[in-house]
Amino acid sequence: MPDQSAPLLPSATAIKAPTACLALTDGTVFYGHGFGATGQTVAELCFNTAMTGYQEIMTDPSYAGQVVTFTFPHIGNTGVNPEDDETADPVAAGMVVKWDPTTPSNWRSAEDLGTWLARRGRIAIGGIDTRRLTRAIRQRGAPHVALAHNPDGNFDIPAMMAAARAFPGLTGADLAKDVTCAQSYRWDEMRWAWPDGYTRQTAPVHKVVAIDYGAKRNILRCLATVGCDVTVLPATATAEEVMAHEPEGLFLSNGPGDPAATGTYAVPMIKEILDKTDLPIFGICLGHQMLGIALGAQTIKMNHGHHGANHPVKDLETGKVEITSMNHGFAIDSQSLPAGVIETHRSLFDGSNCGIRMTDRPVFSVQYHPEASPGPQDSFYLFERFVTAMKARAAATA
Topology given in CATH for the domain delimited by 176-397: Rossmann fold (3.40.50)
Task: Report whether pLDDT(16) > 80.
Answer: no
CB neighbours of 142 closer than 8 A, spacing ≥ 6?
44, 45, 46, 66, 303, 304, 305, 329
Told to judge if 44 belongs to the known catalytic residues of this protein, a careful annotator would answer no
pLDDT at residue 281 in the model: 98
Helix/strand/coil for 153: coil
pLDDT-derived band at 15 (thresholds 50, 70, 90) equals: low
Task: Report whether pLDDT(3) > 90.
Answer: no
Please count the other Cβ atoms lying within 10 Å of the Cβ belonging to residue 3: 12
pLDDT at residue 398 in the model: 82
Backbone angles phi, psi at 205, to 5 degrees: -115, -45
How does pLDDT run across 282-300, given as a tens digit for each residue? 999 999 999 999 999 999 9
Instruction: Label residue 280 exposed, middle or buried (CB < 10 Å: 0-12, 13-18, 19+).
Output: buried
* Least confident window among 29-33, 226-230, 320-324, 373-377: 373-377
Mean pLDDT, residues 2-12? 42
**Is 315 in contact with 322 (CB distance < 8 Å)?**
yes
In the DSSP assignment, the letter for residue 367 is: S
Mean pLDDT, residues 297-311? 96
pLDDT at residue 375 in the model: 78
pLDDT at residue 376 in the model: 84
**Is 62 in contact with 40 (CB distance < 8 Å)?**
no
Considering the segment(s) 20-166 as one domain, its CATH architecture is 3-Layer(bba) Sandwich (3.50)
Considering only CA atoms, which of 312, 234, 247, 310 is closest in space to residue 50?
Answer: 310
* Domain segments of the chain as ranges: 20-166, 176-397
Helix/strand/coil for 112: coil
**Among residues 44, 56, 322, 371, which one is catalytic?**
371
**Is 31 in contact with 42 (CB distance < 8 Å)?**
no
**Is 88 in contact with 217 (CB distance < 8 Å)?**
no
pLDDT at residue 373 in the model: 82
Strand positions, DSSP E, 174-298: 185-187, 206-212, 228-234, 249-252, 281-284
- Torsion, Cα 190 195 197 202, to 10 degrees, reads -40
pLDDT at residue 132 in the model: 96
For the chain, percent of residues with pLDDT exceeding 90: 93
Cα separation of 255 and 262, whole Å? 10
Element (H, E) at 261: helix 259-276
Distance set, CA 23 to CA 163, 166, 360 (Å): 9, 13, 51
| CA 148 to chain CA mean position, Å | 24
pLDDT at residue 374 in the model: 84
How does pLDDT run across 21-43, given as a tens digit for each residue? 999 999 999 999 999 999 999 99
How does pLDDT run across 180-192, given as a tens digit for each residue? 999 999 999 999 9
352-390: string of b/e by CB count within 10 Å (b at 16+)? bbbbbbbeeebbbbbbbbbbbbbbeebbbebbebbbebb
How does pLDDT run across 333-364, given as a tens digit for each residue? 999 999 999 999 999 999 999 999 999 999 99
How does pLDDT run across 77-109, given as a tens digit for each residue? 999 999 999 999 999 999 999 999 999 999 999
Told to judge if 369 belongs to the known catalytic residues of this protein, a careful annotator would answer yes
100-123: string of b/e by CB count within 10 Å (b at 16+)? bbeebeeeebeebbbebbbebebb
**Among residues 56, 285, 345, 354, which one is catalytic?**
285
Amino acid at site 156: D
Told to judge if 206 belongs to the known catalytic residues of this protein, a careful annotator would answer no
Cα separation of 93 and 206, whole Å? 37
CB neighbours of 285 closer than 8 A, spacing ≥ 6?
62, 253, 254, 255, 327, 328, 367, 368, 369
Instruction: Label residue 339 exposed, middle or buried (CB < 10 Å: 0-12, 13-18, 19+).
Output: exposed
Mean pLDDT for all residues in the chain: 95
Longest Cα separation, the chain: 74
